[in-house]
């Protein structure tokens, strides 16, 4: 983005895509759900370096660990309110930092029965990575990490998601409803 345009642009739109993993129980590797995330965001510029954004993302997890019952691919949807920091809006290179809280819904289909549904707050998600301005577009690659707590809807069968299992599939000394989400995404942002 050129220095002359930066002060007058009020709204930017963006899209991102990349691989994503969810680690359940807060006990690290291996990841319990692995797949892909796609998202869109709309941001209002607060200053030359700061924007406030609303982010919507959807994920498809086509692989799962043996700690979870087999089944069709799991899905999740999330919404975030983020502060976007651009360290060098005059470009051409910059570091992009996105951080903020959000809420995630997770649907985990099971081979033995109905789909388990979970939801939970993610009080902080951070994405950081290099960005390059190509004309009026910003292209960035960012590593993201977030954490939160899932709660189950009534009737859910997979205690691995909420960390309430009392079986051998999970480490009883680390049972916790905490989850971590990690991703690596490519994003393109511009303005309407």
Q: Give the pLDDT confidence score for residue 69 in this predicted structure.
A: 79
Q: Using alpha carbons, select from 91, 1, 105 the residue that is nearest to residue 43.
A: 1
Q: Which residues of the chain have pLDDT under 70?
A: 1-9, 25-31, 153-176, 192
Residue 7 neighbours by CB under 8 Å, 6+ apart: 48
Record the tokens describing residue 29, joined without a space.
Answer: 């590797």
**What does the pLDDT look like over 46-59, one tens digit per residue?**
988 999 999 999 99
Q: Give the pLDDT confidence score for residue 42 in this predicted structure.
A: 95
Q: Give the pLDDT confidence score for residue 62 in this predicted structure.
A: 95
Hey, where are the domains in the chain? Answer: 11-190
Q: Using alpha carbons, select from 69, 70, 71, 57 the residue that is nearest to residue 20.
A: 57
Q: What percent of the chain lies above the pLDDT cut of 90?
A: 52
Q: In whole angstroms, what is the distance from residue 71 CA to residue 53 CA?
A: 35
Q: Which CATH architecture has domain 11-190?
A: Beta Barrel (2.40)
């Amino acid at each position: 983005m050129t220095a002359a345009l930066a002060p007058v642009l009020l709204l930017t739109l963006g899209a991102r895509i990349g691989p994503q993993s969810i680690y359940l129980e807060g006990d690290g590797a291996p990841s319990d759900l692995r797949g892909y995330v796609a998202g869109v965001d709309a941001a209002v510029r607060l200053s030359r370096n700061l924007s406030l954004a609303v982010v919507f993302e959807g994920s498809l997890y086509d692989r799962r660990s043996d700690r979870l019952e087999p089944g069709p691919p799991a899905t999740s949807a999330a919404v975030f309110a983020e502060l976007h920091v651009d360290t060098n809006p005059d470009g051409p290179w910059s570091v992009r930092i996105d951080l903020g809280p959000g809420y995630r819904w997770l649907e985990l289909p099971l081979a033995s029965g109905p789909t388990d549904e979970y939801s939970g707050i993610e009080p902080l998600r951070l994405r950081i990575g290099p960005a390059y301005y190509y004309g009026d577009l910003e292209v960035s690659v960012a590593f993201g990490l977030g954490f939160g707590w899932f709660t189950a809807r009534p009737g859910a069968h997979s205690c691995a998601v909420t960390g309430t299992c009392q079986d051998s599939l999970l480490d009883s000394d680390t049972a916790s409803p905490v989850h971590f989400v990690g991703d690596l995404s490519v994003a393109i942002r511009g303005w309407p």
